[in-house]
Amino acid sequence: MEFGVLKHYSLSGQTVRLEFEGGTAEIGLTAPGIVNVFAPLAGPERRSKAIEGDKSRPVAFRLERRDDGLWLETDEVKVRVGDGFTVDFFDADGGEVCMDYRGQRRPLERITPERAQLLIAEGHGAELAEPDRAFEVVKKLSGGEHFYGLGDKTGFLDKRGYDYEMWNTDNPDPHVDSFKALYKSIPFFMALTDSHAYGIFLDNTFRSWFNMGQESEDYYWFGAAGGSLDYYYIAGDGLPQVLERYTYLTGACPLPQKWTLGYHQSRWGYMTQEDVQEIADGLRNHDIPCDAIHFDIDYMQDYKVFTWNKERYHGDPKSFLSGLAARGFKPVVINDPGVKQEAGYPIYEEGVEKGFFATTPEGEVYINAVWPGDAAYPDFGNPAVQEWWGRNQKFLLDLGVRGIWNDMNEPASFKGPLPDDTVFSDGARRATHAEIHNVYGHFMAKAAYEGLKELDGRRPFVITRACYAGTQKYSTVWTGDNHSIWAHLQMSIPQLCNLGLSGLPFAGTDLGGFGSDTTPELLLRWVQTACFSPLFRNHSALGTRPQEPWRFGPEVLDVYRRYVKLRYRWLPYFYDLFWEAERTGAPILRPLVFHYPGDRTARTCNDEFMVGDRVLAAPVVQQGVRQRLVYLPQGEWYDYWTGETLTGPVSVIQDAPLDVCPIYVKAGSVIPLSPPQSWVGEAEPDTLLLDVYPGEGVWDHYLDDGESFDYREGKYHQYRFTVHKDGSVDTETVHAGYDRPYREIRVLAR
Ligand code: GLC
């Protein structure tokens, strides 16, 4: 990208068209606080996969050419465009917020060709080759920036000082801090300084890079291997508003069915009907509330999608699933994209006949291998393929399946990576793997969601491993193949927090760890953490130590049960948070910095998190630890277990024996609770219990049928609880559209 002097500019609506020596570009006001920077390096049209529909909203602005550049100013943001297509963002008072870097790039370590040769000889390879970048945007670091977001990246909460790559990657090695990429590509981050917060969303699906001050203390940069330069600068008065605006742009996570917030039991290795039966019995007999049992690849016939292994299910999976349903279990089944290459297999044959699979540049069906062996890859960028795939889910729904778990959709390939020039579609346009790779999972999730919505009518439940910005509209996510190691329990906190800050509030990790063998202690500390995570699923790999809660004796079972039951009690609170997430984009699980941005300890706090804005959990995430340091930010806090009050900001040493996860609730809170139940809907939800923490505060509580889309027509109740210092609560009905409101709302005696 070689832009020279700004020669001309013209205005078209809220977009300024810029003509530089060497190329054209645009600066557009998308909506209040959202500015789009665009250079049509790959053609004039926007090709966003993340943004659907027209998101433009009127914004009042002024445009003026001054000596130092062209100024586009609104009430909130001032943008200065200069020669060379420099773009600087200021606040309303003209304070610098996000400036292009003007010095010379000075990488910390320059790798000379000689040194590169040496390193390559030592086996480092690909990462040394200078990637072929279509563009780079280099921004100045003022010194105090903290960076959050970027999806599922490994490591700690604050991404400052690290570099990452966006290329959906299935790497079975234990995920450690030095990984550059994992399964998801969310090219969005938020920056926080003492004075400002802003976000950058690079809407580009090609392989891209985010160097967040790893290369230099003076600048950070992002760039991509192809496509156009298309990024959004998002202003805001804090992280919540920046995230709200990002969610406005890319879409919100829709309210899920209530049962999906319950406990899920899974394992790769429930081979037969008897295995699943044993798990269902185990859950009910051991009094572990549970709503979902997951079926991994072994339910299929030879790992062929849209089939069911009749032999292992005695010829009648439907009766078996309906038996499970009668006991409150919803079956969720895995569905991988790879379609087995096999003559006579209808899905494969139909896909070939209709041209529904990705091809080589020469037009042959492209074949790689996944679980079923040699397999073809559905071309999900083609809307007809999405529809076809979505409709095929009918086979599963007819058997009684209630949720679809999309896996291996980076896409994974056992015979080496797909060549960059493998042919896919982007709508009617021919596109390459290089462009589609990072949105393959996104398109698959969309296909699953739209299909379920059409076939079932209820709010679809989809889980995906790979995704792109905006996938939250269609699917929940999990963090893939973690291990049963303490480091991964520790990492789950910043990882889920950053997913939430990347617009993906409905997320979870494999509780207990997927690979490697768990231990009773690790499992207990994990359930104490994961009972707060939006997606609450115990899952483990074939060949590892079984980790259902009753595998380790009565004491472990008792403690495990306590935390699953806590989650079930708190379901109305979680449901309220999901309702909020759909309206504002606020995550369920939040890092402390989300609500306490000025608090320096909060900005890098990795072993505590908030659930909504009034509950703080400080789980133990180290082996052998029975006491831990807890940091409480400003305000009055109640110890959930003892009722003791503490005034923050303060650090306290908290006892945390193996059965205790330290939990704190802010004064003035009310936690809406459900009566005890073993699955969502077992107990008639006509009574609401209020767990009150005296102080001053207001909580809006939401109630609907828990599964249909009727709430969008106003069929819900919204209650407002006002808490007072003496512990009394006033109840008001703000919206009364649901035909089965509570018959009783009662304050719980503590
Ligand atoms: C992948 C998934 C894992 C699943 C396994 C077998 O590794 O990430 O969750 O159990 O495949 O289907």
- Among 93, 91, 101, smallest CA distance to 196 is for 91
Residue 479 within a domain: no
pLDDT attached to residue 123: 66
From the CA of 172, give the closest atom in ligand 1. Answer: 7
Residue 208 lies in a domain: yes
Residue ranges in the chain whose pLDDT is less than 50: 109-110, 126, 128-129
Q: Determine the pLDDT at residue 114.
A: 63
Which structural domain range is residue 10 located in?
6-250
Residue 147 lies in a domain: yes
The pLDDT value given to residue 143: 87
Look at ligand 1, atom 5, and give the residue with the nearest C-alpha.
Answer: 268
In a domain, 318, yes or no: no
The burial of 709, by beta-carbon neighbours within 10 Å (0-12 exposed, 13-18 middle, 19 or more buried), is given as: middle
Does the C-beta of 170 come closer than 6 Å to ligand 1? no
For residue 262, report the distance from its CA to the centre of ligand 1, in Å.
21
Residue 57 lies in a domain: yes
**What pLDDT, on a 0 to 100 scale, did the predictor assign at position 110?**
46
Residue-level pLDDT at 124: 60
Ligand 1, residues 479, 481, 516: which to mutate, most atoms within 8 A of Cβ? Answer: 481
Nearest-atom number in ligand 1 for the CA of 510 is: 9
Write the CA distances from 319 to 294, 323, 324, 393, integer angstroms.
Answer: 17, 6, 9, 18
Active-site annotation holds for 481: yes
CA 692 to chain centre: 31
Start-to-end Cα distance in the chain: 65
407 is catalytic: yes
Pick from 415, 483, 465, 395: which is nearest to 174 by CA?
483
Q: How many domains does the chain have?
A: 1
pLDDT digits (tens, 9 = 90+) for 633-645: 999 999 999 999 9
| Separation of alpha carbons 510 and 519, rounded Å | 14
Residue 160 lies in a domain: yes
The catalytic residue among 165, 407, 435, 582 is 407
Record the pTM: 0.97
Q: Is 334 in the pocket of ligand 1 (CB under 6 A)?
A: yes
Q: Assess whether the C-beta atom of 268 lies below 6 angstroms from ligand 1.
A: yes
pLDDT tens digits along 73-102: 999 999 999 999 999 999 999 999 999 999
pLDDT of residue 105: 75
Domain contains 735:
no
pLDDT at 685: 77
> Is 486 inside a domain boundary?
no
CATH code of the domain covering residue 116: 2.60.40.1760
Q: Give backbone dihedrals phi and psi of 717, rounded to 5 degrees, phi first.
A: -110, 140
Active-site residue (options: 410, 426, 450, 707): 410
